[in-house]
Amino acid sequence: MQEIPAETPEHRWEPLSLEEVKRLLGPVAAPWWVAGGHALDMFLGHETRQHVDIDVAILRRDQKAFLDALREWDVQIAHNGELIPLKPGEAITKPEHHELWARETPDGPWRLELLLEESDGKRWSYRRNDRIGLNVADLGRRDSYGIQFIRPEVMLLYKSHSPRPADETDFLYALPRLDVAQKGWLSGALYTTDPKHRWLERMK
């Protein structure tokens, strides 16, 4: 989630529930995945902590389909601690612009964050290092209600970059539940991005 001051009314959040997200985005004919702490909770099968927002990952190339679904909403780019209004029909092409906040009215609370993921054909690539990737079809898993969420090892890779206390907590909850293949993938990805990352020692 973009680190933007939350003490002012224009930055308050009342996130959609998973069921509301499913109703809103279910009709879109493009893949989407619940991300962030919610994704790890879906992997674990229970809620581990309170979440102040809800993140949904989409492929950057599919952004128009999702912005069409949110055409009646106020959607803004979250970047470097600021919110940048999104113009109607504007395509988001700058790699550094990868987070969108959405709310139903301009004076209402924020309800949803969209995360733009990079891809090339059938391959998803990690935004911070495109040497790391997966088949798009393997990027997520489904819960018992059919909602896709980002694989835990991928979600932890994102959280490993300048981890906050909540990210450290998420790592400690998820690590014991990762299987050998998941730990292997995450270890390899961490080593690629930062061979001295402190999480690597914990995964031995």
pLDDT by residue (tens digit) across 133-187? 999 999 999 998 899 999 999 999 999 999 999 999 999 999 999 999 999 999 9
- Asked if residue 47 lies in contact with residue 38, where contact means CB atoms within 8 angstroms, the answer is no
pTM for this structure? 0.93
Angle at 41 between CA 37 and CA 45, to 5 degrees: 175
SS (H, E, C) the chain: CCCCCCCCHHHCECCCCHHHHHHHHCCCCCCEEEEHHHHHHHHHCCCCCCCCCCEEEEEHHHHHHHHHHCCCCEEEEEECCEEEECCCCCCCCCCCCCEEEEECCCCCCECEEEEEEEEECCEEEECCEEEEEEEHHHCEEECCCCCEEECHHHHHHHHCCCCCHHHHHHHHHHHHHCCHHHHHHHHHHHHHHCCCCHHHHHCC
Cβ neighbours of residue 170 under 8 Å, at least 6 residues apart?
Answer: 37, 40, 48, 49, 155, 156, 159
CA atoms within 13 A on the CB side of 28: 21
Mean pLDDT score, 92-112: 96
Predicted local confidence at residue 154, as pLDDT: 98
Predicted local confidence at residue 12, as pLDDT: 92
Q: 10-28, pLDDT tens digit by residue?
A: 789 999 999 999 999 999 9
Q: What is the number of residues in the chain?
A: 204
Of 4-8, 11-15, 51-55, 144-148, the range with the lowest mean pLDDT is 4-8
* Residue 89, pLDDT above cutoff 60: yes
